[in-house]
Amino acid sequence: MQRAQRRSFWQPACACNRRIPPNDQPVLLSNPDPFYLGSLLLSVVIAISVHEFAHALAADLLGDRTPRLDGRLTLDPRSHIDPFGAILFLLAGFGWGRPVLTNPRNFRTGFRTGMALVAAAGPFSNLVLAFIAAQLLRSGLLARFVPWDWVTGFLYIFMSLNVVLLIFNLLPVPPLDGFKVALGLLPDNVADMLAGIERTGPLLLMFLVLAGNLTQQYGFTPLGLLMTPARNAVMQLLGM
Protein backbone atom coordinates (compact mmCIF):
# COMPACT_ATOMS: atom_id res chain seq x y z
CA MET A 1 0.00 0.00 0.00
CA GLN A 2 1.42 3.34 -0.99
CA ARG A 3 0.58 6.61 0.67
CA ALA A 4 1.17 10.09 -0.64
CA GLN A 5 2.02 12.80 1.84
CA ARG A 6 1.03 16.28 0.67
CA ARG A 7 3.43 18.95 1.83
CA SER A 8 1.73 22.29 2.42
CA PHE A 9 3.73 25.43 3.06
CA TRP A 10 2.50 28.64 4.61
CA GLN A 11 3.44 32.27 3.94
CA PRO A 12 7.08 32.22 2.83
CA ALA A 13 7.84 35.92 3.22
CA CYS A 14 8.84 36.28 6.82
CA ALA A 15 12.16 38.04 7.21
CA CYS A 16 10.98 40.93 9.38
CA ASN A 17 8.92 40.46 12.52
CA ARG A 18 6.40 37.83 11.37
CA ARG A 19 6.81 38.08 7.62
CA ILE A 20 7.82 40.21 4.65
CA PRO A 21 5.88 41.93 3.18
CA PRO A 22 4.04 43.16 6.30
CA ASN A 23 0.63 42.07 5.05
CA ASP A 24 -1.08 39.03 3.59
CA GLN A 25 -1.28 40.21 0.01
CA PRO A 26 -0.08 37.82 -2.70
CA VAL A 27 3.69 37.65 -2.35
CA LEU A 28 4.70 38.64 -5.87
CA LEU A 29 2.28 41.56 -5.95
CA SER A 30 3.19 42.96 -2.55
CA ASN A 31 6.96 43.25 -2.98
CA PRO A 32 8.10 43.59 -6.60
CA ASP A 33 11.76 44.22 -5.70
CA PRO A 34 13.83 42.03 -8.09
CA PHE A 35 16.38 41.05 -5.44
CA TYR A 36 13.67 40.07 -2.98
CA LEU A 37 11.77 38.07 -5.59
CA GLY A 38 14.90 36.31 -6.80
CA SER A 39 15.99 35.49 -3.25
CA LEU A 40 12.52 34.25 -2.36
CA LEU A 41 12.26 32.07 -5.46
CA LEU A 42 15.68 30.50 -4.89
CA SER A 43 14.89 29.98 -1.20
CA VAL A 44 11.59 28.29 -2.02
CA VAL A 45 13.22 25.93 -4.53
CA ILE A 46 16.01 24.93 -2.14
CA ALA A 47 13.78 24.60 0.93
CA ILE A 48 11.11 22.49 -0.77
CA SER A 49 13.66 20.27 -2.52
CA VAL A 50 15.59 19.56 0.69
CA HIS A 51 12.35 19.10 2.68
CA GLU A 52 10.99 16.48 0.29
CA PHE A 53 14.40 14.81 -0.12
CA ALA A 54 14.56 14.45 3.67
CA HIS A 55 11.22 12.61 3.67
CA ALA A 56 12.47 10.28 0.94
CA LEU A 57 15.82 9.67 2.66
CA ALA A 58 14.16 8.90 5.99
CA ALA A 59 11.83 6.38 4.37
CA ASP A 60 14.76 4.75 2.57
CA LEU A 61 16.80 4.49 5.77
CA LEU A 62 13.82 2.86 7.49
CA GLY A 63 13.68 0.15 4.83
CA ASP A 64 11.15 1.48 2.32
CA ARG A 65 12.64 1.67 -1.18
CA THR A 66 9.52 3.23 -2.70
CA PRO A 67 10.95 6.78 -2.81
CA ARG A 68 14.21 5.46 -4.29
CA LEU A 69 12.36 3.61 -7.04
CA ASP A 70 10.26 6.74 -7.63
CA GLY A 71 13.39 8.83 -8.22
CA ARG A 72 12.99 10.94 -5.08
CA LEU A 73 16.40 10.25 -3.49
CA THR A 74 17.88 13.32 -5.13
CA LEU A 75 18.21 17.03 -4.45
CA ASP A 76 17.27 17.82 -8.04
CA PRO A 77 14.38 20.32 -7.76
CA ARG A 78 12.74 18.82 -10.84
CA SER A 79 11.97 15.71 -8.79
CA HIS A 80 10.34 17.61 -5.94
CA ILE A 81 8.75 20.83 -7.21
CA ASP A 82 5.07 20.74 -8.09
CA PRO A 83 4.71 23.54 -10.70
CA PHE A 84 1.19 24.51 -9.67
CA GLY A 85 2.00 24.31 -5.96
CA ALA A 86 5.12 26.45 -6.44
CA ILE A 87 3.28 29.11 -8.45
CA LEU A 88 0.48 29.24 -5.89
CA PHE A 89 3.10 29.44 -3.15
CA LEU A 90 4.60 32.57 -4.69
CA LEU A 91 1.30 34.19 -5.62
CA ALA A 92 -0.85 33.37 -2.61
CA GLY A 93 1.62 32.51 0.15
CA PHE A 94 0.88 28.79 0.46
CA GLY A 95 1.46 25.77 -1.74
CA TRP A 96 3.12 22.36 -1.78
CA GLY A 97 5.81 20.16 -3.25
CA ARG A 98 5.33 16.83 -4.96
CA PRO A 99 4.03 14.25 -2.48
CA VAL A 100 6.49 11.54 -1.46
CA LEU A 101 5.07 8.05 -1.93
CA THR A 102 5.85 5.58 0.84
CA ASN A 103 4.84 2.05 1.75
CA PRO A 104 4.60 2.01 5.57
CA ARG A 105 4.50 -1.80 5.60
CA ASN A 106 8.18 -1.76 4.67
CA PHE A 107 9.27 0.30 7.69
CA ARG A 108 11.45 -1.67 10.08
CA THR A 109 10.14 0.41 12.97
CA GLY A 110 6.49 -0.40 12.39
CA PHE A 111 3.74 1.53 10.67
CA ARG A 112 3.01 4.44 13.02
CA THR A 113 6.54 5.04 14.27
CA GLY A 114 7.90 4.92 10.74
CA MET A 115 5.33 7.40 9.46
CA ALA A 116 6.17 9.75 12.34
CA LEU A 117 9.91 9.58 11.67
CA VAL A 118 9.46 10.15 7.94
CA ALA A 119 7.13 13.08 8.63
CA ALA A 120 9.54 14.64 11.15
CA ALA A 121 12.45 14.46 8.71
CA GLY A 122 11.03 17.24 6.53
CA PRO A 123 10.70 19.94 9.22
CA PHE A 124 14.01 18.83 10.74
CA SER A 125 15.72 19.53 7.40
CA ASN A 126 14.29 23.06 7.46
CA LEU A 127 15.72 23.53 10.96
CA VAL A 128 19.14 22.44 9.70
CA LEU A 129 18.96 24.86 6.76
CA ALA A 130 17.91 27.71 9.05
CA PHE A 131 20.81 26.89 11.42
CA ILE A 132 23.33 26.92 8.56
CA ALA A 133 22.02 30.26 7.28
CA ALA A 134 22.15 31.75 10.79
CA GLN A 135 25.76 30.65 11.28
CA LEU A 136 26.76 32.12 7.92
CA LEU A 137 25.06 35.38 8.86
CA ARG A 138 26.80 35.55 12.22
CA SER A 139 30.25 34.61 10.90
CA GLY A 140 30.34 37.01 7.96
CA LEU A 141 32.32 34.36 6.08
CA LEU A 142 30.74 34.97 2.67
CA ALA A 143 31.49 38.70 2.77
CA ARG A 144 34.89 37.91 1.28
CA PHE A 145 33.34 36.72 -1.95
CA VAL A 146 30.15 38.72 -2.64
CA PRO A 147 28.69 42.07 -1.50
CA TRP A 148 27.65 41.70 2.14
CA ASP A 149 24.30 43.44 1.67
CA TRP A 150 23.36 40.79 -0.90
CA VAL A 151 24.51 38.01 1.40
CA THR A 152 22.61 39.25 4.44
CA GLY A 153 19.47 39.91 2.41
CA PHE A 154 19.37 36.44 0.88
CA LEU A 155 20.44 34.55 4.00
CA TYR A 156 17.87 36.27 6.19
CA ILE A 157 15.06 35.54 3.73
CA PHE A 158 16.29 31.94 3.41
CA MET A 159 16.64 31.47 7.16
CA SER A 160 13.25 33.01 7.94
CA LEU A 161 11.51 30.98 5.26
CA ASN A 162 12.89 27.74 6.69
CA VAL A 163 11.88 28.71 10.23
CA VAL A 164 8.31 29.31 9.06
CA LEU A 165 8.26 26.01 7.14
CA LEU A 166 9.56 24.22 10.24
CA ILE A 167 6.86 25.65 12.49
CA PHE A 168 3.97 25.47 10.05
CA ASN A 169 4.63 21.88 9.07
CA LEU A 170 4.79 20.85 12.73
CA LEU A 171 1.27 22.11 13.43
CA PRO A 172 -0.75 19.01 14.43
CA VAL A 173 -3.31 19.51 11.68
CA PRO A 174 -3.71 17.02 8.83
CA PRO A 175 -2.25 16.77 6.25
CA LEU A 176 0.78 18.51 7.79
CA ASP A 177 3.79 16.61 9.09
CA GLY A 178 3.01 17.54 12.67
CA PHE A 179 -0.19 15.51 12.58
CA LYS A 180 1.67 12.34 11.60
CA VAL A 181 4.32 13.01 14.23
CA ALA A 182 1.57 13.39 16.84
CA LEU A 183 -0.04 10.10 15.79
CA GLY A 184 3.30 8.38 16.31
CA LEU A 185 3.72 9.79 19.82
CA LEU A 186 0.20 9.32 21.16
CA PRO A 187 -1.21 6.10 22.67
CA ASP A 188 -2.71 3.76 20.10
CA ASN A 189 -6.32 4.30 21.14
CA VAL A 190 -5.99 8.10 21.00
CA ALA A 191 -4.09 7.95 17.70
CA ASP A 192 -6.75 5.70 16.16
CA MET A 193 -9.45 8.14 17.20
CA LEU A 194 -7.61 11.15 15.78
CA ALA A 195 -6.80 9.33 12.54
CA GLY A 196 -10.48 9.59 11.70
CA ILE A 197 -10.24 13.37 11.23
CA GLU A 198 -7.46 13.10 8.65
CA ARG A 199 -9.88 13.61 5.75
CA THR A 200 -11.38 16.78 7.22
CA GLY A 201 -8.04 18.26 8.24
CA PRO A 202 -7.38 20.05 4.93
CA LEU A 203 -10.67 21.92 5.36
CA LEU A 204 -9.57 23.12 8.80
CA LEU A 205 -6.22 24.17 7.39
CA MET A 206 -7.89 26.09 4.56
CA PHE A 207 -10.21 27.76 7.07
CA LEU A 208 -7.21 28.96 9.10
CA VAL A 209 -5.58 30.34 5.95
CA LEU A 210 -8.70 32.11 4.68
CA ALA A 211 -9.65 33.40 8.13
CA GLY A 212 -6.42 35.37 8.11
CA ASN A 213 -7.74 37.49 5.27
CA LEU A 214 -10.71 38.48 7.44
CA THR A 215 -8.89 39.08 10.71
CA GLN A 216 -5.80 40.80 9.32
CA GLN A 217 -7.52 44.19 9.46
CA TYR A 218 -7.70 43.75 13.23
CA GLY A 219 -3.96 43.17 13.46
CA PHE A 220 -3.78 39.39 13.76
CA THR A 221 -4.31 36.12 11.90
CA PRO A 222 -5.12 32.70 13.42
CA LEU A 223 -1.96 31.16 12.03
CA GLY A 224 0.03 34.16 13.20
CA LEU A 225 -1.22 33.65 16.75
CA LEU A 226 -0.22 29.99 16.58
CA MET A 227 3.13 30.43 14.88
CA THR A 228 4.63 33.74 16.02
CA PRO A 229 5.61 32.67 19.58
CA ALA A 230 7.25 29.51 18.23
CA ARG A 231 8.96 31.46 15.45
CA ASN A 232 10.38 33.97 17.93
CA ALA A 233 11.62 31.14 20.14
CA VAL A 234 13.38 29.39 17.25
CA MET A 235 14.96 32.64 16.05
CA GLN A 236 16.23 33.24 19.59
CA LEU A 237 17.72 29.74 19.69
CA LEU A 238 19.44 30.50 16.39
CA GLY A 239 20.92 33.62 17.95
CA MET A 240 19.00 35.98 15.70
Contact 224, 18 (CB under 8 A): yes
Whole-Å CA distances, 60 to 72, 77, 112, 123: 10, 19, 16, 17
**Per-position DSSP letters for 89-102, written without gaps between them:** HHHHS-EEEEEEEE
Residues labelled as active-site residues: 52
What are the residues facing 101 on neighbouring strands? 4
3-class DSSP state for residue 8?
strand
User: How far is the CA of 189 from the CAs of 113, 173, 184, 210, in angstroms?
Assistant: 15, 18, 12, 32
Residue 127 contacts by C-beta under 8 Å, 6 or more apart in sequence?
162, 166, 234
